[in-house]
Amino acid sequence: METISQSSNTSEDTSPRGYRSLYEIYEATEVLYVAEPNSFEEAFKKDEWKQAMEEELAAIKKNQTWELMDLPVNKEAIGVKWVFRTKFNADGSTQKHKA
């Protein structure tokens, strides 16, 4: 028959590393908050987002992702939605704006 040994929990094993106030936590997360545009109109007002859109359109053209064509009679075009994200480096600094 096997015996199972139990480890003893001491205060050294479970002591917290430190405490932070709610204000300190809020400050740390607020620094990381970046407002990203929710629409094309919002993004088009900022140079960094215009550049991100231009880079995306250039990549689409370079990779021949799609091509413009005349719309067939009695057909409707599908919509397009831009999604805007800010990419960060490991240290929290802005790496790039992605559209």
pLDDT in tens, 25-40: 766 665 556 689 999 9
Contacts of 87 (CB under 8 A, 6+ apart): 94, 95, 96, 97, 98
pLDDT at 35: 80
- pLDDT tens-digit profile of 10-22? 556 666 777 878 7
Residue ranges covered by each domain of the chain: 36-70+80-99
Q: What is the value of pTM for the model shown? A: 0.61
Q: DSSP per residue over 18-83, as a string? A: ----HHHHHHHHHHH-----SSHHHHTTSHHHHHHHHHHHHHHHHTT-----PPPTT--PPP----
